[in-house]
Chain A
Amino acid sequence: MPKVSVRLFATLQRYLPPANIGEATVMDVSPGTTVQSLLGELGVPLEQVKIVMINGIHTETDYVLQEGDRVGVFPPVAGG
């Protein structure tokens, strides 16, 4: 089973609170799991998801997770 490390940020943090601030949660997912299905399992309302990055690259939610992926998920955020 592919192992992935997952971080949810800002208001989404509550669906997967990190053990220590900034620390990823390492999870085993079944082969073929998409970002969308992973977020569904975690109970994250998809309409709150704006940005998904896999290994630092902007990606869509239908992406199929691969061994070693670093997953970062954000609601709408900005600053400057």
Chain B
Amino acid sequence: MEKLLRVDMSNLEARFEDLPDKYALLGGRAMTAAIVADEVAPTVHPLSERNKLVFAPGILTGTTAPSSGRLSVGAKSPLTGTIKESNAGGISAQKLASLGIRALVVEGKPAEKGFYVLVLSSEGARIEPAGDLAGLGCYELNRRLWEKYGKNSGLMCIGPAGEAGMPTAGVSTNDRENHPGRYAGRGGLGAVMGSKGLKAIVLLCDKVFEAPVAEPEKFKEAQKLLSKAILEHPVTAQALPAFGTAVLINILNEAGGLPTKNFSAGRFEEAAKTGGEAMAEFCKTRGGKGKMGHGCHPGCIIRCSNIIPDEKGEVACAPVEYESSWALGANCGIGDLDTIARLNYLCNDVGLDTIETGVTIGVLMEGGLLAFGDGSGAIALLDTEVRNVTPLGRIVGAGAAVAGKTFGVVRVPVVKSQGMPAYDPRAVKGIGVTYATSTMGADHTAGYSVATNILKVGGFVDPLQAEGQVDLARNLQIATAFVDASGLCLFTAFPLLDIDYALPAVADMYAARLGRPFTVADALEAGKEVLRVERKFNEAAGFTKAHDRLPDFMKYEKLLPHDVVFDVTDEELDTVHNF
């Protein structure tokens, strides 16, 4: 019987419960959404004892399905006020699943402020005082936790930003080399963890692929098909391992949709120095520990991740992803990869979301606190202000919306107070529809229209025209909600969109894992149900269609080089969730 583990931080008690029947088919985002919706009142304060933080591996996580080791973390978000799911790689999700834990629910809050470590193994769960681990950055924290609990422990932890309740703090998870850089970054879930007095969760478990599978033979057959699709698709077979996700820098720059200097232009003159090709060159010429084609967890056959070396070949940061390279690079007018890697390292260490941090610093640059391109100024903001939790550090950690208000800035690229990722919606209109209407605030992963607008995956819809974007964003949001429940990495979506036998193979794996019929139609229905649950929560939390909008400046400020505004109408946006 698979379990739900409930950790009550008010009484410092942990207890295992049988997984309720109503959750039997849910994993990942479907599980976190259902538990948050069932157990958290939509109007609670996100940092109060009445919020809950839920960790859930996907349905296929902990099986031998390729690239399936993803973790969902959910709660009510202190950044957006909406329900939130943030997805991470790393080694912890497979361990949770192999321990038979389908959901880990952290609730309550210690009566007296203090920090604890939750230690989980096949023998059970215990809660220990964090002692002098409190206050540490994630790199030193991870080092000490491996020293204390053993190498290969799965770690989910927070840095000083999470401890201080900053609404853009993320939850770090470690990779196989114990870098803390695999973040459930978005939406401030690290602050929720901090509010519960939980500094780290340690998973003592060497098992990786031991989630129960009802029909192993059938599972294997379907799994082979998905692997074949992944290895057949040129994007997952070649481009992602060779250049990582940052291969997108140049293509978005060419397309005029790479947000530059706080979304004031669509091209950055130094973009190429910050892209995947430049990273691959770094790894080749600097050597040492540098590496492209790194897998964030065992069993990933795509391996989009990387280890970026410094000048001496030591680890500067692992990984530097597209979104981070853009947020801390082009968006801040910074064209130096070493500076970007340093900023990314600092975000990982103090425990902030890289996207939100880059968007926030961009707004602060616009507001005149520091100049665009000022790398050392940006480093000081993180290393000094955030790390020491100064008032200015708290502004940085509060996100772009707060920074904009504090400094009187109009051009603030957020939806539902969450900073926009690395695609300008005026030049990539499909992603604008997703940003506006996603249940998460501005989130590219919620419905990655960029695939079809820019990359010609899943067909082609002209990124500069309003036509077709609503249908595209709707279908992708539904499909993505399912993928996020499965535990498959979202990058499997490229073969899933292009290769006809891939999605049926995933449905077959579901059926074999759970020992019940499951079809592609069931998968899409499952995706729709996740969105319905999330929307209902948000409505009850006070969100209306007026919140499903992009910031007003995008309707009248023209973006170069294409001289475009965002012109999908409000009426059209309101039809995205008609399904």
- Say whether B248 contacts A79, CB under 8 Å: yes
Contact of A77 among B251, B267, B444, B460 (CB under 8 A): B251
- Say whether B248 contacts A77, CB under 8 Å: yes
**B240 partner residues in chain A, CB cutoff 8 A:** 78-79
- Say whether A78 contacts B235, CB under 8 Å: yes
Contact of A80 among B267, B450, B562 (CB under 8 A): B450
Chain A, range 32-80, C-beta contacts under 8 Å to B: 50-51, 53, 55-58, 72, 74-80
Distance in Å: Cβ of A35 to nearest Cβ of chain B = 14
| Chain A CB within 10 A, most for which of B276, B277, B448, B451 | B277
- Docked Cα-Cα span, A80 to B476, in Å, equals 14
Q: In the complex, how many residue pairs between chain A and chain B have their CB atoms under 8 Å apart?
A: 106
- Say whether B491 contacts A21, CB under 8 Å: no
Contact of A75 among B234, B321, B444 (CB under 8 A): B234
- Docked Cα-Cα span, A23 to B278, in Å, equals 13
- Docked Cα-Cα span, A26 to B462, in Å, equals 28
**A72 partner residues in chain B, CB cutoff 8 A:** 250-251, 254
Contact of A10 among B277, B463, B491, B561 (CB under 8 A): B277
Distance in Å: Cβ of A13 to nearest Cβ of chain B = 6
- Docked Cα-Cα span, A9 to B561, in Å, equals 20
Contact of B445 among A9, A58, A76, A80 (CB under 8 A): A80
What are the interface flags for A1-14 relative to B under an 8 Å C-beta threshold, 1 for contact and 0 otherwise?
Answer: 00000010111010
Distance in Å: Cβ of A9 to nearest Cβ of chain B = 5
Distance in Å: Cβ of B300 to nearest Cβ of chain A = 15
Q: How big is chain A's contact interface, by range?
A: 20 to 34
**A79 partner residues in chain B, CB cutoff 8 A:** 240, 244-248, 276, 304, 321-322, 491
- Docked Cα-Cα span, A2 to B323, in Å, equals 37
- Say whether B464 contacts A57, CB under 8 Å: yes
- Docked Cα-Cα span, A15 to B110, in Å, equals 62
- Docked Cα-Cα span, A15 to B254, in Å, equals 19
Check B119 for interface membership: any CB of A closer than 8 A.
no
- Say whether B254 contacts A53, CB under 8 Å: yes
Distance in Å: Cβ of A76 to nearest Cβ of chain B = 4
- Say whether A76 contacts B277, CB under 8 Å: no
- Docked Cα-Cα span, A75 to B457, in Å, equals 12
Known: A22-B273, A72-B254, A79-B247. A10 touches B445 (CB 8 A): no
Known: A75-B234, A80-B491. A22 touches B251 (CB 8 A): no
Interface secondary structure of B, over-half rule: helix
| Chain B CB within 10 A, most for which of A13, A53, A57, A80 | A80
- Say whether B464 contacts A80, CB under 8 Å: no
Contact of B490 among A18, A55, A75, A80 (CB under 8 A): A80
Known: A22-B271, A80-B245. A9 touches B277 (CB 8 A): yes
Residue of B nearest to A70 (CB): B254
**A56 partner residues in chain B, CB cutoff 8 A:** 254-256, 267, 561-562
Residue of B nearest to A22 (CB): B272
Known: A22-B273, A78-B235, A78-B491. A58 touches B460 (CB 8 A): yes
| Chain B CB within 10 A, most for which of A23, A57, A58, A76 | A76
- Docked Cα-Cα span, A9 to B281, in Å, equals 13
Check B41 for interface membership: any CB of A closer than 8 A.
no
**A22 partner residues in chain B, CB cutoff 8 A:** 250, 270-273
**A18 partner residues in chain B, CB cutoff 8 A:** 272
Distance in Å: Cβ of B494 to nearest Cβ of chain A = 5
Residue of B nearest to A76 (CB): B234
Known: A10-B242, A10-B277, A80-B444. A53 touches B255 (CB 8 A): yes
* A interface list, Cβ under 8 A from B: 7, 9-11, 13, 18, 21-23, 50-51, 53, 55-58, 72, 74-80
Chosen A-B contacts, 17 in total, with CB atoms closer than 8 Å, are A10-B277, A11-B239, A21-B277, A21-B281, A51-B454, A56-B561, A57-B464, A74-B254, A75-B234, A75-B239, A76-B234, A76-B455, A78-B451, A79-B245, A79-B321, A80-B245, A80-B491
- List the 3 closest pairs (A to B, CB-CB), nearest first: A22-B272, A79-B245, A72-B254
* B interface list, Cβ under 8 A from A: 233-235, 238-240, 242-248, 250-251, 254-256, 267, 270-273, 276-278, 281, 304, 321-323, 444-445, 448, 450-451, 454-457, 460, 462-464, 490-491, 494, 561-562
Other than A11-B239, A58-B463, A79-B276, give 8 A-B pairs with Cβ distance below 8 A.
A9-B247, A10-B250, A22-B270, A56-B562, A58-B460, A77-B239, A78-B494, A80-B323
